A and B are shown apart, each in its own frame.
Chain A
Amino acid sequence: MTVTREFAFSQGLPPAGAIPGSPGTFDPDDPLHGELLRLNVGPQHPATHGVLRLMVTLDGETIHEMEPVVGYLHRGKEKAAESLGWRKFFAHTDRLDYVQPLLNNVGYALTLEKLAGVEVPERAQVLRVLLMELSRIMAHLIYLGTTSIDLGAISMFFFTFEERERAYNVLDAYTGHRMNHSFVRLGGVYADVDAEVEQALADFIEQFPAKIDQFESLLTGNRIWHDRNRNVGIMTGEEAKAWSLTGPNLRGSGVDCDLRKDEPYSGYEDYDFEVPVGTIGDCYDRYLVRVEEMRQATRLCSQALARLKETRGAPVLMEDRRFVLPPKQTVQTSMEELIHQFKIVTDMPLPAGEAYQGVESSKGELGFFAVSDGTSSPVRCHIRAPGLMNVQVIPLLARGRLFSDTVAIIGSLDFVMGEVDR
């Protein structure tokens, strides 16, 4: 499904080479050219979405060269996995892309399940899809809010955060946390939804499409928003693939690639949803793709909610006592269950081998690659963070553009430094 909008004022694509200030126009021998200005942007700067640092070389207001510097939020997550062991690392996956903790949880859980060779109950899969799509909505709301604030539409930030707040409240009621839920377990999810939470979820999903319409009415057809984003930061599908971009940034460039469709997991193949793709791959296309993804995520959520009704009462966690903690009540009454609990908490080995599982996160393909030597902690746990690839293309898109365009480009690429630096 191609998302595209045409307005009376749309002027179409500029002819090749007509984009102002194309790279390489700086000639140091030209006496009229003055000198280049080296500008340090970040790591503390309003537009860098966290602690990204950009070393910019400006020719007037045109970007001559730009170099992103990452690592200011490096916490050694991958190494932490090696010392913490399989189970305890769940809490750390929350803190990777901290605007969508549940999606990270699921990605890690799927990898461990692949390694352990187990299958989670159906109801758990439905709940996971629900949580993942809700996370996607929440992450895209952050994208919309922060990008708008970068481009000057400050109130949008509050409108999106109001919606996020609603989602927070629902998740708070369900998981007991507003952020960093750590709610997904190897073998399912921690607890079933109760009737109240289910109703709250349904209410949120029901009112949300109208809110998307409101957001769009403020931005999509707005001439200023259109002009700030259209034809800015154009990236062809080939370029996007060459820079191993995934997710909305790749789809914005017109490549129909979505892990939920191409390599379904958690039962995504049974859901009815569409994958939006852009046309020319500029900031505006990436914006349209994300907005449409929010709509599709809403559709997925309501389908998942319908399935929850069908599977009511079914287990949400495996009964496999090799990997799944027994319920607390039985631990206190049964000798075997106590042993299981003790064993899982102190030493839960996964079979030797390696596994990679990617999930379609809000930023792209979030992959976990885990290598096990049959002990209770990984030999290596690599995280394929889509945000890192998104940061990589900033210079490509920004070169030759005006400095003001960087904020549009950075915003439209959408990354979270917690995930980029890990």
Chain B
Amino acid sequence: MNTILVWLIKVLIIYGGLLGTAALMTLAERKVSAWIQHRKGPNRVGPCGILQPLADGVKLFFKEEVLPAGANRLLFRFAPALTALPAMMTVAVIPFGGELELFGITTKLSIADLDIGVLYILAVGGLGIYGIILGGWASNSKYSLLGGLRASAQMVSYELSMILAIVAVIAVTGSLDLREIAQAQAAFTDWNIWRQPLACGLFVVTMFAETNRHPFDFAECEPELVGGFHTEYSSMKFGLYFLGEYSAMVVMACLATTLFLGGWSVPFVPEAHWLLGLAAFMAKTACFLFLYIWVRWTLPRLRFDQLMGLGWKVMLPLALLNLFITGALLSLTGA
């Protein structure tokens, strides 16, 4: 009974946290872009505009739902959920901290500790692209269709490099369990960013492509494709795409933290309190999230065939080379 209660509470907190962070990210995006562009950003709703995401959500709920003529009714309605759902499911295996004891109950700071956590994230997270492809196809709009097509072309070109970059990390750690990967980096000097710098760089680049973020946001690409795959979407269906995108960003930032920045390990504090560990985890994640926003408002956008060139001609060979060197070193040292 107790176990189920604890588990339920964890689910509520972690999902609430994910959705809350995703909502706050929409605000952060606008605030940071405003700073970069010498503007003020939203500051009317609540103190410093902190309630802006709430106002946006309410507004989206009250908007009219438009079903374009000739659209595939089922898929058109289903596609946004298909994008939002995987992003939210993947957060289940992220370890936010070590063991903690509260009110006499000992538990671990994650919803589930899967032995194949990395595999689960890649498999489920990869489904998110279907929502974009289907949404683009089901809208019966040429712009949406082109956006969906680009999304599919994009996916095949970066996912391989991403997986190979992660495989190098797995080779170093010897485990697919995210908790074990994080625990193996307990000391600051053991962080995978030092042991696998190339894999870290590749992962960060592909992370942008995985979440359809600028400079790889060809599926939206508003100057060319108006709104890309979500041109025809309105109201909360559009909101769901948004939520999915931002949730995916948060989860990918969490994953990057776990894989390369030692998860909840606090630099130079060996046995940190779990709260401090959680704060460290959140701070590291925030760095990646800030990077997402920073890049979006600084760089121009690539052409989608240039991403494919980058994926196949640069990142894939680099990832393979990295894996080869990692493997060679591991077998030489006999680890």
Which A residues form the contact surface with B (CB < 8 A)?
A: 20, 37, 39, 45-47, 61, 148-155, 158-159, 162, 218-219, 222, 224-225, 227-228, 402-407
Contact = CB atoms under 8 A, between A and B. Distances in A.
Given A47-B223, A153-B299, A158 B37 contact: yes
Interface stretch (B7-15, B113-121, B271-279, B302-310): B302-310
A228 B142 contact: no
A219 B218 CA distance: 20
Given A155-B36, A158-B38, A162-B38, A222 B297 contact: no
B300 A148 contact: yes
Nearest to A411: B223
Contacts of B36: 155
Given A153-B300, A218-B298, A224-B302, A407 B223 contact: yes
B300 A155 contact: no
B299 A222 contact: yes
Contacts of B303: 227-228, 402, 404-405
| Interface band, chain B | 20 to 34
Contacts of B39: 158
Nearest to B227: A46
Interface of B: 33, 36-39, 142-143, 146, 149-150, 214-215, 218, 221-224, 226, 297-306
A218 B36 CA distance: 13
Contacts, number: 79
Nearest to A154: B297
A77 B214 CA distance: 42
A37 B225 CA distance: 14
Contacts of B302: 224, 227-228
B224 A407 contact: yes
A219 B300 contact: yes
Given A224-B215, A407-B223, A20 B305 contact: yes
Nearest to B218: A404
7 closest pairs, A vs B, by CB? A152-B301, A158-B37, A153-B300, A47-B223, A150-B223, A151-B300, A404-B303
A155 B214 contact: no
A58 B142 CA distance: 11
A224 B301 contact: yes
Contacts of B305: 20, 61, 402
Contact of A46 (B33, B37, B222, B304): B222
Contact of A228 (B218, B298, B300): B300
A225 B302 CA distance: 8
A403 B153 CA distance: 15
Contacts of A228: 300-303, 306
A218 B298 CA distance: 8
Contacts of A154: 33, 37, 297
Main secondary structure, interface of A, reads helix
B224 A153 contact: no
Contacts of B150: 61
Contacts of B37: 154-155, 158-159
Contacts of A20: 305
Contact of B298 (A150, A155, A162, A402): A155
A39 B142 contact: yes
Most interface-central of A37, A152, A222 (chain B CB within 10 A): A152
Contact of B224 (A148, A219, A403): A403
A158 B298 CA distance: 12
B290 to A, nearest CB: 15
Given A151-B301, A225-B300, 16 more contacts: A47-B223, A61-B305, A148-B300, A149-B223, A152-B301, A155-B33, A155-B36, A155-B297, A155-B298, A158-B37, A158-B38, A159-B38, A162-B38, A222-B299, A227-B306, A407-B224
Contacts of B226: 45-46
Contacts of A153: 298-301
Contacts of A152: 214-215, 221, 223, 299-301
B127 to A, nearest CB: 25
16 contacts: A46-B223, A46-B226, A61-B149, A61-B305, A151-B300, A153-B299, A158-B38, A159-B38, A162-B38, A224-B301, A224-B302, A227-B302, A228-B301, A402-B303, A403-B224, A404-B221
A151 B223 CA distance: 8
A224 B306 CA distance: 9
Which of A39, A155, A405 counts the most B-chain CB atoms under 10 A from its CB? A155
A156 to B, nearest CB: 8
Contacts of A224: 215, 299-302, 306
Nearest to B36: A155
A159 B38 CA distance: 8
B306 to A, nearest CB: 6
Nearest to A39: B142
Most B CB within 10 A of own CB, among A151, A159, A162, A219: A151
Contact of A403 (B38, B146, B298, B300): B146
Contacts of A158: 37-39
Nearest to A403: B224
B16 to A, nearest CB: 32
A403 B38 CA distance: 32
A106 B36 CA distance: 37
A228 B218 CA distance: 14
Nearest to B143: A39
Contacts of A151: 223, 300-301
A34 to B, nearest CB: 12
Given A155-B36, A402-B303, A402-B305, A47 B224 contact: yes
